[in-house]
Amino acid sequence: MPLYLIVILPLAGLIIGWTIRWFYARFQLTSQEQKAERIKQDAIREAEGQKKEILLEAKDQLIQERNQQEREIRERRNEVQAYERRLIQKEENLDKKVEVLERQEQILTNRNREVLEKESQIEADQERWRQELERISGLTVEQAKSLIIENLENEAKHDAQVLINKIEHEAQLTAEKRARDILVTSIQRIATDISSEVTITTVSLPNDEMKGRIIGREGRNIRTLETLTGVDVIIDDTPEAVVISCFDPIRKEIARMSLERLISDGRIHPARIEEVVEKVTKEIDQKIYEEGERILFELGIHNMNPDGIKALGRLYYRTSYGQNVLFHSKEVAVLAGMIAGEVEADKEIAKRGALLHDIGKGIATEGDSNHAELGMELAKKMGEDERVINSIGSHHNDVEPSCVESVIVQIADAISAARPGARRETLNNYIKRLENLERIAESFDGVDKSYAIQAGRELRIMVNNESVNDVDVKSLAKDIAKKIEDELRYPGRIKVTIIRETRIIEYAR
């Protein structure tokens, strides 16, 4: 085949193919345009239909809203008309009421006029009667008023004084009876064992040979025991007995127990004595704390400081006139609780103050403060209530009682100390001490009478107001107190009270 045919035939085929493709594409485009035109026309017709439907719906909506508004307008018009009718009716009613009020006002005006006329007439009559009464009585109005007021005032004063005297008399009788009932009831409801302790203790020995062993070689055993315990061990001719003497009951008890254990053990030498004393001392310390806790538990008192518990426990080994101080404090607490319950005071404060009132006796001190002052200081450190502190300080009148619970503690303390058998002091010694107090006071010039009261804790002195003036009273009290300190032995403090008064006496005949 010639070369040009090889070139021409493919080109011709390619041209023919492109031509056929163009005619086909042209034919296809014409068909789609027609289809698109038809779709467009259909969409236009459908849109026009929807437009008509929307317009119809809008017209219906407008018509409905207009009808609704017309109905609301008619309803509003009807309401306004009804309101206008009510207003008109109210105005008519108000007009009627105004007419009624005007008529009533006219009536009241007429009555007021009549009342004024009657008042004028009554005033004229009163003036006429007053002048007539003045003429008959011979007194003016002011004089008559003064006379009536004076008579009424005198009568009222007399009646008031009679009533006051009656009330005071009844109150005194009632108070005395009530006080007696409270004290008798409290005393009858308590019964405690009578405790008798002394300042010396006797230790029994199995034989007299034990005395030599207690003394030891050149007295080293007895010196060791006395040095460690702080007591005096008295070995005399008393058969099979050794006497331990000490003013401190705790040291005396430690020495007694230590000596008994040494005698029982048989080994008596300085090292063994030191060992036993140390062991007994720990046991006594434990015993002291346990006794303090036991008393608190029995009385139902809680939240006590450990220092207070120890001080209470030390009272177990302390006595006053043969009366165990711890049992005495417990007894006072029970009495104070009963009395506080009877008079509606604070029972817990009264019991706590009564239990701690002698706690100063359980404090080891080398100062010159008395047990009430020491007890107050300890109670303050323990954070006790102010009423409890005052009860401790005032139970011997070292400070003034500031609450009813303090007075109750004083009463309970006096009852416990003064009940029969509570203390070893004999009646003769007690009476002798009171007589000595009164004798010392009456030995001074200007003293008329003296009375030892409160179981010898207070000396009340009556002086002659003509021979003793106010300036001399203070120095006289100091001189009497100084003489009592020098000549007498007594527990606690004695309060010296001097009374100087002027009495004017007249008799109505």
Same domain, residue pair 441 and 361: no
CA 425 to chain centre: 40
Q: Do 293 and 374 reside in the same domain of the chain?
A: yes
197: confidence class by pLDDT, cuts 50, 70, 90 = very low
User: Is residue 477 within a helix (H) or strand (E), and if so which, with residue range?
Assistant: helix 470-487
Neighbours of 172 (CB within 10 A): 10
325 and 348 inside one domain: yes
Flag whether 294 is in a domain: yes
Q: Does 42 reside within a domain?
A: no
Positive or negative: CA dihedral 43, 45, 49, 54 = positive
Look at residue 20 and tell me whether its pLDDT is greater than 80.
Answer: no
Q: Is 180 within the bounds of a domain?
A: yes
- The verdict on 280 and 333 lying in the same domain is yes
Note whether 254 and 150 are same-domain residues.
Answer: no
What pLDDT digit, counting tens, does each position of 394-422 carry? 877 778 888 888 888 888 888 777 654 45
Q: What does the alpha-carbon distance between residue 459 and residue 180 come to, in Å, rounded to a whole number?
A: 24
CATH number of residue 265's parent domain: 1.10.3210
Residue at 305: amino acid letter: N
The tokens describing 483, both together, are 């003489």
pLDDT at position 196 is 37
Question: What CATH number does the domain containing 431 carry?
Answer: 3.30.300.30
Q: How far apart are the first and last CA of the chain?
A: 192
Structure confidence at residue 191 as a pLDDT band (50, 70, 90): very low
Q: Kindly indicate the confidence band of residue 30, based on its pLDDT and cuts at 50, 70 and 90.
A: low
pLDDT band at 193 (very low <50, low <70, confident <90, very high): very low
414 CB-near residues (< 8 Å, 6+ apart):
454, 455
Phi-psi domain of 421 (left: phi exceeds 0; alpha: psi -120 through 50; beta: other): left
* 341 and 286 housed in the same domain: yes
Shared domain for 315 and 448, answered yes or no, is no
Instruction: Dump the DSSP string for 295-315.
Output: HHHHHT-----HHHHHHHHHG
Give the domain range for residue 466: 427-499
Q: Which helix (H) or strand (E) holds 23?
A: helix 3-137
Residue 354 included in any domain: yes
Q: Is 149 within a domain?
A: yes
- Is residue 367 located within the same domain as residue 270? yes
**Residue 301, token pair as written in the block:** 């008192």
Number of domains forming the structure of the chain: 3
Query: Do the beta carbons of residue 340 and residue 348 sit within 8 Å?
Result: no
All residues at 6 or more sequence positions from 326 whose CB lies less than 8 Å from its CB, including other chains: 291, 295, 312, 313, 315, 316, 318
For residue 380, what is the DSSP state? H
What ranges in 138-248 are assigned the alpha helix state H? 141-188, 209-215, 220-229
Q: Select, from the ranges 127-141, 169-183, 188-202, the one with the highest average predicted confidence (pLDDT).
A: 127-141
194: pLDDT strictly greater than 50? no
**Rounded Cα distance, 399 and 169, in Å:** 32
Q: What is the mean pLDDT of residues 72-97?
A: 89
Distance (Å, whole) CA 199 – CA 294: 25
* CA 19 – CA 304 distance, rounded (Å): 125
Whether pLDDT at 337 is above 50: yes
Same domain, 149 and 241: no
When comparing pLDDT for 469 and 237, which is higher?
469
Range scoring the smallest mean pLDDT among 3-7, 438-442, 482-486: 3-7
The span from the CA of 492 to the CA of 457, in Å, is: 8
In a domain, 163, yes or no: yes
410 in the same domain as 329: yes
Residue 211 pLDDT level (bands cut at 50, 70, 90): confident
pLDDT band per the 50, 70, 90 thresholds, residue 321: low
Same structural domain for residues 179 and 237? no
Of 390, 418, 446, the one marking the end of a domain is: 418
Instruction: State the DSSP H helix or E strand holding residue 248, giving kind and residue range, or none if neither.
Output: none
Type of residue numbered 171: A
pLDDT value at residue 359:
82
> Which strand ranges, in their side-by-side order, compose the sheet holding 495-499?
447-453, 458-463, 495-499
- Does 478 share its domain with 379? no
Rounded Cα gap, residues 361 and 314, in angstroms = 8
CA distance 318 to 315: 5
pLDDT in tens, 154-173: 777 777 767 776 776 777 66
Give a yes or no: residue 80 inside a domain. Answer: no
Out of 21-35, 178-192, 378-392, 393-407, pick the least confident. 178-192
Do residues 389 and 380 touch, judged by C-beta distance below 8 A? yes
Which of 370, 388, 418 finishes a domain?
A: 418
- The mean per-residue pLDDT over the stretch 283-308 comes to 84
Lowest mean pLDDT among 81-85, 233-237, 277-281, 344-348: 233-237
Domain end (from 386, 418, 450)? 418
Whether 64 is covered by a domain: the verdict is no
Cα separation, 48 vs 184, whole angstroms = 121
Q: Examine the pLDDT at 475 and tell me if it is beyond 70.
A: yes
What's CA 224's distance to the chain center, in Å? 53
Identity of the residue numbered 181:
D
To the nearest whole percent, how much of the chain has pLDDT over 90?
A: 0
